[in-house]
Chain A
Amino acid sequence: MPEAYIYDHIRTPRGKGRASGALHEITPIELTTQVLRALRDRAEMDTNLVDDVIMGCVTPVGEQGANIARVAAINAGYSEQVPGTQLNRFCASGLEAVNSAAAQVMSGMSQLVIGGGVESMSRVPMGADGGAWGSDPNVAYHTYFAPQGIGADLIASRYGFSRDDVDAYAMESQRRAAHAWEQGHFSRSILPVRDSLGSVVLDRDEHMRPGTTMDDLAGLKPAFAVPGEQFGFDSVALQRYPDVERINHVHTGGNSSGIVDGAAGVLVGSKKIGRKLGLKPRARIRGFASIGSEPTIMLTGPAPSARRALKRCRMQQSDIDLFELNEAFASVVLRFMQDMEVPHEQINVNGGAIAMGHPLGATGAMVLGTALDEIERRDLNTALVTLCVGAGMGTATIIERV
């Protein structure tokens, strides 16, 4: 089986996902276009060689709709022979796009594929694509639908994480992210976003709040108490988890991932195409796995997906040097650490989405790149990247430096 290699990775900084955010004026197609151009230019490649462009996008409607990958490729000036496809694995879309790119290469059907993702949450709001799970009452009722935040609070309640525990985690995420930026750990992969005149509109993650204290966090209101208690979602969740007496609503805007805009891309290819382009592979994609698990608690998929990826790669957990798990909610990471017995020193070492934000469709590709940069910087070998995914899924990818 051919191997799939990562040749490059790039991401935009993440802008606050609201009207006052720096990237609000930049369209999602433009974010994607700038990423595709940068990948092309950094590799100095003839885009005729690109077999496919796969872009994750979680709310593919309006200006993000109708296959943003193909249109962005055309818009970026890629050869018109380059096809594109958009996929939606919810929060792991960006990683799933890279995995799909790798799968094409591993199968021998493609030589060079771009995987990545985009989400302009300030312009296309979360949930704008509707969907049967939440809004078709027959489906929601019979499958015990509850919003993610309820699942996050259920994880905290069921596995014993207090408000202090999740806030302490959030504070550390802020500290690590600020430190990483100060030390320039992200600089290799950040693509400043420019306006139509070529001026930089954003070159640094905008959502961070360095210096956040426990007191700051303690002052925030629980975000999911109202849907839980007033709309009835707590009851729905407890009907699935009757061993829990009540749901403790510990998550706030401060210990959950930020709503942001951003895009990212990863250049994946075979050994042969690397040689042809004169590119040095940075890492090998050892393997990956997506799994489904119980959908109401929704966010406990990372551990089983990590285990399955390890198994598929015939690896042990001890073979992994660094873990990167998207910080959708603090309890998701705390539960993963508890379940997998991963020390905090080994996971999300440069902070994560609580500090820097989670542009849904792009995050998977971003965290993969962050992990790659970090194992290179520390001169380590392997990383396992994973995300919790809506409706109870999980996706994990293992990379190894070459």
Chain B
Amino acid sequence: MFKTINWKAGDDGIVKLVLDVKDRSMNVLTPELVADLEKAVEKIAADDAVRGAIITSGKSSFVAGADLKGMDALVALARKDPAAALERVGYFSQLLRRMETCGKPFVAAINGTALGGGLEICLACHYRVAANAPRAVLGLPEVQVGLLPGAGGTQRLPRLIGIEASLPLMLEGRHVSPEKAAKLGIVDELVEPDALLAAARRWLLESPTAEQPWDRKGFKVPGGAGAMHPKSAQTFMAGAAMVARETRHNYPAPISIMSSVFEGTIVPMDTGLKIEARYFTKLLADPVAGNMVRTLFVNKQKADKLAYRPEGVDRLKVSRVGILGAGMMGAGIAYVSAVAGQHAVLLDTEQALADKGKDYSRRLVEQRVEKGRMTRSQADEVLARIQPTTRYEDLEGCELVIEAVFENREIKADVTARSEAVIGKDALFASNTSTLPITSLAKASSRPERFIGIHFFSPVEKMPLVEIIVGRKTDESAIAHALDYVAAIGKTPIVVNDSRGFYTSRVFGVFTQEGMAMLAEGVNPALIENGAKFAGMAVGPLAVMDEVTLELAWKVTEQTRADLGGKYEPNIAVPVLDRFVNELDRKGKRFGKGFYDYPADGPKRLWPGLAEVYPRAEKQPDVDDVKKRLLYIQALETARCLEEGVLDRPEDADIGSIFGWGFPAWTGGTLSFIDMIGIETFVRECERLARRHGKRFRPSKWLKDRAKAGQSFHDSSGSRRSAA
């Protein structure tokens, strides 16, 4: 009778529903599971012999949430026919409502992780017992893919634990341990895993109620609700502002969650569920949710699982990795490798420098131990795996060597040759360069087919992305092995082909250049910086230039000029860099002054002298124009990377842009952004921008042809136009 539920009826009138979706490692809310659950609820409601039911799972986790891969159809429906979508959205929610009002008591026996819809099933039960399982987490993470808990989560959680405690859990999508969940009141009882079912059964036999507190007469939301309750009013007033600060009005989900809670907790449960379902449907129809699901969930998972790894190559298990250069990057790479269980040989020219590189890891593990995220013995093991040295002989046995020395061709060539003299013939040699083409660096290698770029971002331990760069002679096995290493250290890889600046540095470069170009045009610098931030970039282009230092940017420019000779074409920002580095001596934050001043007694502020260097234009652009220029130029440059073959796949473009340099996640990444706008509109706007601001905005014939053919980069793109 059931495909996804094992029905186990006991003599005592207690039915155990064991959720178990076949062919899945974790239960997710597939249409079959929902249908089965509905059947089960009706059967329990109708059968006088059944006293109550326990819901638990046949997997190690409880239910991991909705089946996001199946969401496309619902998204399409929400855009086409919101009323029809509302009905579909409300279906599961109504089922849970039926469960909690059907007259029979239900207990959730939460044996493991319960997320999203999984936790919402539990909240609709009349009692929750959770197993104190070591890795289990509970939470409502929908916001992270641009959605809200749409099966009663925004209604039941605040009614259970109060608005103030529930909002952060839903707004940040934070997971909590079963222990914490018990403390918060999300679960009623915490037991050891082997006592779980007995505890659930005991409650059903001893003190069951089939009525939720919120269905009792006189129920009040703990801590108050509504606009007239002083505490609740305060919570929402400050809350809306905090959401505006965090989202910059780019992400619709958080304010929808807050509004669903606000409006829903003033009215009875059934009305609250209607309000929630409407907000959920609106989010579905908004392109942001589709963008986030596609890139942050579906495609990121694919990348993490190495979906594009060349086939037929044996997996490389790196047990010993050599890292050349114990500066900040090298030290960070050593740390993440050692944490992943690899022996890291950290080499520098002087022992003191190598030791200093290891100190970096020492500081990091100390912090983790202090925060309780690592035990002392784990910390000691990590440190024991890092071997600071000056001797190339110590690289012997390394399956992989990564150089992170200065961006200088001679030095890089030297360390390459010295390493290759020691390491095995099959060993992989990688450069962490962020600016020098891999093919040119591979010339120093005796086996260029095993030479590859593995580009980390700073700080290594925090940044989730690694950009793998394929040189002209790099072979498939080298790519596969580099991917294996990246997966082993728990980072998300993208694979790009060689070119100047590769993908991420190149496109991020046009962002900062555009900012500097605006400055030179006389755009108010506060407007430039705010425009970037309000578009969703983490920092403004001028602030970021100060961080990396204008001096470094100038040096890269010089290197490019030297490399390209006659073919060199200065970008729009070069005159600004020249002026600040060579005339004004304002080289960046490290030098105490750049586009900003860095007063000792307060926060940095834009240098007032900017107005003299670049007098303010009389007519200032609208902030939307500033945002548009900054986002469009990055998207357009990304399209060029795809056209030129620097990128193979739009997925890599999107993931690289969000996780590499912080292109706003609401867009789903640089190419999803074009899809969202609609490629025809995008091209037309680029042409307009080119007429106004210069040929760098001119779309190529390739892109125009693509636009003419109406060919988006992703199959299911929710462009704003088709959404309207």
Contacts and interface: CB of A to CB of B under 8 A. Distances in A.
B524 A137 contact: no
Contact of B227 (A131, A227, A231, A245): A131
B530 A242 contact: yes
Given A227-B238, A242-B526, A134 B243 contact: no
B259 interface: yes
B228 interface: yes
A238 B620 CA distance: 16
B348 interface: no
Interface in B14-49: none
A242 B255 CA distance: 21
Nearest to B247: A141
B534 A233 contact: no
A83 to B, nearest CB: 29
B621 to A, nearest CB: 10
Interface in A234-288: 235-236, 238-239, 242-246
A329 interface: no
Nearest to B606: A245
Contacts of A242: 526-527, 530-531, 534, 623, 626
A239 B534 contact: yes
Contacts of A236: 241, 244-245
Contacts of A136: 227, 236, 259, 262-263
A137 B240 contact: yes
A137 B258 contact: yes
A118 B84 CA distance: 52
Interface string B236-279: 11111111111011000001001100110000000000000000
Given A137-B258, A243-B527, 9 more contacts: A137-B262, A138-B258, A140-B240, A227-B238, A232-B244, A235-B248, A239-B530, A242-B534, A246-B603
Nearest to A130: B227
Nearest to B528: A242
B280 to A, nearest CB: 14
A231 B242 contact: yes
Interface string A209-243: 00000000000000000010001110110110011
Contacts of B695: none
A135 interface: yes
Nearest to B241: A232
A132 interface: yes
Contact of B237 (A135, A142, A235, A239): A135
B606 A141 contact: no
A232 B227 contact: no
A137 B243 CA distance: 9
Given A239-B249, A239-B534, A245 B529 contact: yes
A135 B534 contact: no
Interface of B: 227-228, 233, 236-246, 248-249, 255, 258-259, 262-263, 524-527, 529-531, 534, 603, 605-606, 620, 623, 626
Contacts of A35: none
Interface string A132-172: 10111110111011100000000000000000000000000
A141 B240 contact: yes
Contacts of A239: 244, 248-249, 530, 534
Contacts of A137: 236, 239-240, 243, 255, 258-259, 262
14 contacts: A131-B227, A135-B233, A136-B227, A137-B239, A137-B255, A137-B259, A137-B262, A138-B258, A140-B237, A144-B244, A227-B238, A232-B242, A242-B526, A245-B525
Contacts of B238: 227, 231-232
A134 B262 contact: no
Interface centre among A132, A140, A145, A235 (most CB of B within 10 A): A140
Point out which of A127, A239, A242 has the most chain B C-beta atoms below 10 A from its C-beta. Answer: A242
Contact of A235 (B236, B241, B527): B241
B524 A138 contact: no
B168 to A, nearest CB: 14
A211 B242 CA distance: 40
B227 A243 contact: no
> For A135, A144, A245, which residue has the most chain B Cβ atoms within 10 angstroms?
A135
A218 to B, nearest CB: 17
B233 A130 contact: yes
Contacts of A231: 237-238, 241-242
Contacts of A245: 525-526, 529-530, 605-606
A146 B531 CA distance: 20
A238 B626 CA distance: 15
Nearest to A132: B227
Nearest to B239: A137
Contacts of B249: 141, 239
Contacts of A134: 233, 237
Residue from A127, A137, A141, A246 whose CB has the most chain B CB atoms within 10 Å: A137
Contacts of A127: 233
Given A236-B245, A239-B248, A243-B526, A130 B240 contact: no
Contacts of B262: 135-138
B244 A141 contact: yes
Contacts of B525: 245
Contacts of B258: 137-138, 141
A231 B236 CA distance: 11
Interface in A105-145: 127, 130-132, 134-138, 140-142, 144-145
Nearest to B228: A130
Contacts of B626: 242
Contacts of A235: 241, 244-245, 248
B524 A243 contact: yes
Nearest to B255: A141
Contacts of A140: 236-237, 240-241
A214 B516 CA distance: 42
A227 B260 CA distance: 24
A236 B255 CA distance: 14
Contacts of A130: 227-228, 233
A120 B238 CA distance: 26
A127 B237 CA distance: 12
A142 B241 CA distance: 10
B198 to A, nearest CB: 43
Given A141-B255, A239-B248, A246 B240 contact: no
A239 B241 CA distance: 11
Interface in A194-221: none
A232 B531 CA distance: 17
Given A138-B262, A141-B240, A232 B534 contact: no
Nearest to B244: A236
A235 B244 CA distance: 7
Given A136-B227, A227-B238, A141 B605 contact: no
A246 to B, nearest CB: 7
The 6 closest A-B CB pairs, nearest first, are A232-B245, A235-B245, A242-B530, A232-B241, A245-B526, A137-B240
Given A141-B243, A239-B244, A135 B530 contact: no
B488 to A, nearest CB: 40
Nearest to B257: A137
A173 B603 CA distance: 33
A242 B534 CA distance: 9
B410 to A, nearest CB: 43
A140 B228 CA distance: 16
B150 to A, nearest CB: 17
Nearest to A241: B530
A291 B263 CA distance: 31
A130 B530 CA distance: 32
